[in-house]
Amino acid sequence: MRSPSSPTKLSPAMNAYSYSSLSKQAQREIFRFVADCTYDWESWLDLDGKLIWVNPAVERLTSFSMTECLGMQEYPLEIVAEPDRPTMQSILASAIQGGSGNDREFRIVKKDKSWHWFAVSWQPLVVANGGRIGIRMSMRDICDRKALEEEKTKYNIHLEELAQARASQIVELRNKQIQNEKLAALGVIAAKVAHEINNPMAGIKNAIRLIQDENQLSVDALEMFRLVDNEIERIIRILRQLYQLYRPNLSPPDAFDLLKTMDDVIVMIETQFGATKPEFQRVHWPEACWIVGFEQELKQILYNVILNAVQASVEGGLIEVELDSHEQERLRIRVRDHGHGIPADMLPRLFEPFFTTKQGREKEGTGLGLAISQSLATAMGGFIEAQSTDGGGATFVIELPVVSASARIESKSAGI
């Protein structure tokens, strides 16, 4: 079998039947008939690269007729897409020098300005005595092949993205496992340290109070003892928080009004900030929402998260509290502020104990509020995540399981 790049020999003995007895004119007609019936786009050029024949398939494939092609000064460059013309020029130069090639891709521009992909093969036309009489070029429509290649490329990119996402998930899960192991170890240490420190601190506190009761103390001494007593209270409070962080205890689940619990927390924070309180917007709150869950733990989580949002905002800033979902099994609450936002590199550390990003309305604290909230949420079978919001600010999403829930669909948004 002749390879695609082999010279096309015009031998006078093509068959064993009476073909050889036909006239030269009849033989040429048979050659032309066979060539005209070829499905692909076929062209014959002279030794200088000038088109001398093209088959009818050219019009079906390119929208240009045989007559239009024969009238072109630079065939086929005139219908080749501009970016691919250097490729076609090198192919024509190779063909004129007697070279051959196969499956070189290029694009043509049809009359409707659409681009179509083709692959060209070329070889010299050689007669029986070895002399070259021209060039044969065969162009094959490869649009379907290019479409498949594009789909394959997209599929490979998609697979790579999935693999990267899976690898990221594995790394994230491993980091969470390491973090949980650290927290477990810290829990054991914190419980022991807190126990060892708490008892002597209680004794010191009692001794301070006994001394304060003495009448002989000066005003300055009493003030000093008051400061010492306050610091002891602070130490005891941190010890209790450490207990809660590493050994969260959940109260028994009970039925409660979710909206009242959320509103109580908002009112508590409004009272705490007084004249500088933020503007709260209650978003998508239904008329009623009773659930069975852990009310006290949810109240503490909401307090810590909303307080964090207020402290990250300017005085009087807007805080949105949205009840995003109150379905039968999951509860989702979003708290959004419009403060300075959270840098991307700090998001993974946001729930670490003693880590803080507070700016703006800075408040004193231990840096344990969000860590305790996450610990409580995890103990309840849920989680808290933080997102830096486009346009500034941050959004905290609290998602927790509930035993059951009921609510009317009617909802409203109100600025308070």
> Mean pLDDT over residues 165-186, rounded?
80
The pLDDT confidence band at residue 76, using thresholds 50, 70 and 90, is very high
Out of 242-246, 300-304, 353-357, pick the least confident: 242-246
Q: Is the pTM of this model over 0.95?
A: no
pLDDT tens-place string over residues 327-343: 567 889 999 998 888 88
Measured CA to CA, the distance from residue 295 to residue 204 in angstroms comes to: 35
Asked if residue 119 lies in contact with residue 87, where contact means CB atoms within 8 angstroms, the answer is no
What's the confidence (pLDDT) of residue 31?
65
What's the confidence (pLDDT) of residue 184?
67
Q: Name which residue leads in pLDDT, 25 or 322.
A: 322
The pLDDT confidence band at residue 302, using thresholds 50, 70 and 90, is very high
Burial class (CB in 10 A: 0-12, 13-18, 19+), 243: middle
Strands 330-336 and 51-54: unpaired
Residue 406 has pLDDT above 70, yes or no: no
Residues 6+ apart with CB under 8 A from 10: 31, 125, 126, 127, 128, 133
Q: CA separation (Å) from 54 to 29, 42, 133, 140, 344? A: 15, 6, 16, 14, 63
369-379 vs 219-246: helix axis angle to the nearest 10?
Answer: 30
The percent of residues in the chain predicted with pLDDT above 90, rounded, is 37
Measured CA to CA, the distance from residue 416 to residue 414 in angstroms comes to: 6
What's the confidence (pLDDT) of residue 193?
75
Measured CA to CA, the distance from residue 253 to residue 189 in angstroms comes to: 29
Domains of the chain, first to last:
8-141 (3.30.450.20), 171-246 (1.10.287), 254-415 (3.30.565.10)
